[in-house]
């Protein structure tokens, strides 16, 4: 796929790069710490393998969901649909900095993950920011900041919270109680991003 104005300054190919950084990946540190802890607890290699594969079995659907979400993010990017949506959101003009965190909030509320929200909407935010002359670093950061406020209303978090606090079956009540708090906090983040975009511009790295 080629990028063209107004998304890019000139027609250029979208770089399709894949990198697998074993040492810097978060999972590598977790795996090594698990191995060290297992050996410290005097588990045999066979027992460690059993624990490892049992863990994989328990999180198999979670891993599949994460992989599917990442695949969707790359599909929207390389198909050009996120650029199209980014230009559409840019039509909000000077108000986009306020709505930018709300996109992240919506992404996390739907997917349950700030990472997934960034994959889905990160490039869209940058396209919209460039189209209106907003700092793209601020737009990308606001997606994460707004996403954090959506964490309290995503289904996964509510179910976990309900089970952990002995309120199983009251997930609907919890959602109704925290929804407006979540939306109000996302709006406050939008106000902060709006001020950073137009008033306190020195707060954002160039």
DSSP per position, the chain: -EE-TTTSSS-EEPP------TTTSHHHHHHHHHHHHHHHTT--HHHHHHHHHHHHHHTHHHHHHHHHHHHHHHHHHHHTHHHHHHHHHGGGGGGHHHHHHHHHHHHHHHHS-HHHHHHHHHHHHHHHHHHHT--HHHHHHHHHHHHHHHGGGSHHHHHHHHHHTT-TT-HHHHHHHHHHHHHHHHHHHHHHHHHHHHT-GGGS--
> Which two structure tokens, joined as six digits, stand for 148?
């954090």
Delimit the domains of the chain by residue range: 76-203
Q: What is the pTM of this model?
A: 0.67
Q: What values do phi and psi take at 80, rounded to 5?
A: 90, 0
Residue 2 has a pLDDT of: 57
Residues of the chain with confidence (pLDDT) below 70:
1-18, 62, 65-66, 69, 73, 77, 80, 82-83, 163-164, 206
Residue 12 has a pLDDT of: 61
User: Which tens digit of pLDDT belongs to each residue from 115-149?
Assistant: 778 877 888 888 888 888 889 899 989 999 999 99
Residue 127 has a pLDDT of: 84
Residue 115 has a pLDDT of: 79
Neighbours of 56 (CB within 10 A): 10
């Amino acid at each position: 796929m080629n990028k063209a104005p107004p998304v890019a300054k000139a027609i250029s190919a979208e770089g399709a790069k894949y990198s697998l950084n074993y040492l810097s990946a978060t999972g590598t540190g977790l795996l090594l710490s698990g191995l060290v802890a297992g050996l410290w607890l005097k588990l045999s290699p066979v027992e460690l393998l059993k624990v490892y594969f049992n863990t994989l079995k328990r999180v198999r659907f979670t891993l599949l969901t994460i992989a599917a979400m990442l695949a969707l993010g790359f599909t929207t990017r390389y198909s050009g649909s996120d650029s199209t949506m980014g230009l559409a959101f840019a039509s909000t003009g000077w108000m986009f900095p306020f709505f930018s965190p709300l996109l992240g909030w919506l992404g996390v509320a739907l997917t349950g993950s700030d990472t997934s929200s960034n994959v889905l909407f990160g490039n869209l935010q940058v396209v919209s920011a460039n189209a209106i002359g907003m700092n793209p670093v601020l737009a990308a950061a606001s997606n994460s900041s707004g996403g954090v406020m959506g964490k309290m209303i995503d289904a996964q978090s509510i179910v976990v919270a309900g089970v952990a606090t002995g309120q199983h079956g009251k997930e609907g009540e919890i959602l109704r109680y925290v929804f407006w708090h979540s939306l109000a906090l996302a709006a406050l983040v939008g106000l902060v991003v709006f001020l950073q975009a137009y008033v306190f511009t020195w707060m954002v790295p160039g």
